């Protein structure tokens, strides 16, 4: 049940709105979640979005998928256009790709948390 973590976070922090789970190739972990979050905010459908990546190692996942580099962990970000004066990082979309405020292309969610 890949949506359990985000659903539990939504309950704990009293978040409302759509929740869903998407998958990414190994080198692009969390990228689709970021793209969807940016789209939701840009369209005005949501003012704030919780987006993230979770890849936990368990005994059930003994056999790695082809190309799996074995990296496990979790990163969750709050994206919002509600408080621009409190902005820590800015994500911009250009030609269907995401970039940081300094112009660096984002390939995975980990590109913007360092």
Structural domain boundaries enclosing 64: 4-112
Q: What whole-number distance in Å separates Cα of residue 4 and Cα of residue 8?
A: 6
> 0.95 cut: is pTM over it?
no
The helix (H) or strand (E) run that includes residue 98 is strand 97-100
User: What would the mean pLDDT of 17-21 be, rounded to a whole number?
Assistant: 78
Q: What whole-number distance in Å separates Cα of residue 68 and Cα of residue 46?
A: 33
pLDDT at 75: 83
pLDDT at 43: 92
| Closest among 104, 102, 94 to 35, alpha carbons compared | 94
In the predicted model, is pLDDT for residue 59 greater than 60? no
Domain tally for the chain?
Answer: 1
> 36-40, 65-69, 78-82, 90-94 — which is least confidently predicted?
65-69
What would the two tokens of residue 26 be?
A: 């190994």
Specify the higher pLDDT residue, 58 or 55.
55
Residue 105 — very low, low, confident or very high, per pLDDT cuts 50/70/90? very high
DSSP bridge partners of 90: none
Q: What whole-number distance in Å separates Cα of residue 107 and Cα of residue 53?
A: 13
């Amino acid at each position: 049940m890949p949506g359990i973590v985000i659903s539990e976070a939504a309950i704990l922090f009293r978040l409302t709105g759509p929740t869903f789970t998407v998958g990414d190739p190994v080198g692009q972990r969390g990228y689709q979640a970021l793209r969807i979050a940016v789209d939701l905010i840009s369209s005005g459908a949501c003012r704030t979005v919780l987006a993230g990546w979770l890849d936990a190692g368990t005994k059930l996942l003994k056999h790695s998928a082809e190309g799996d580099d074995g990296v496990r962990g979790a990163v969750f970000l709050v994206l919002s256009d509600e408080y621009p004066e409190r902005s820590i990082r800015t994500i911009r979309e250009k030609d269907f790709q995401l970039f940081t405020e300094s112009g660096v292309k984002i390939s995975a969610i980990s590109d913007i948390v360092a």
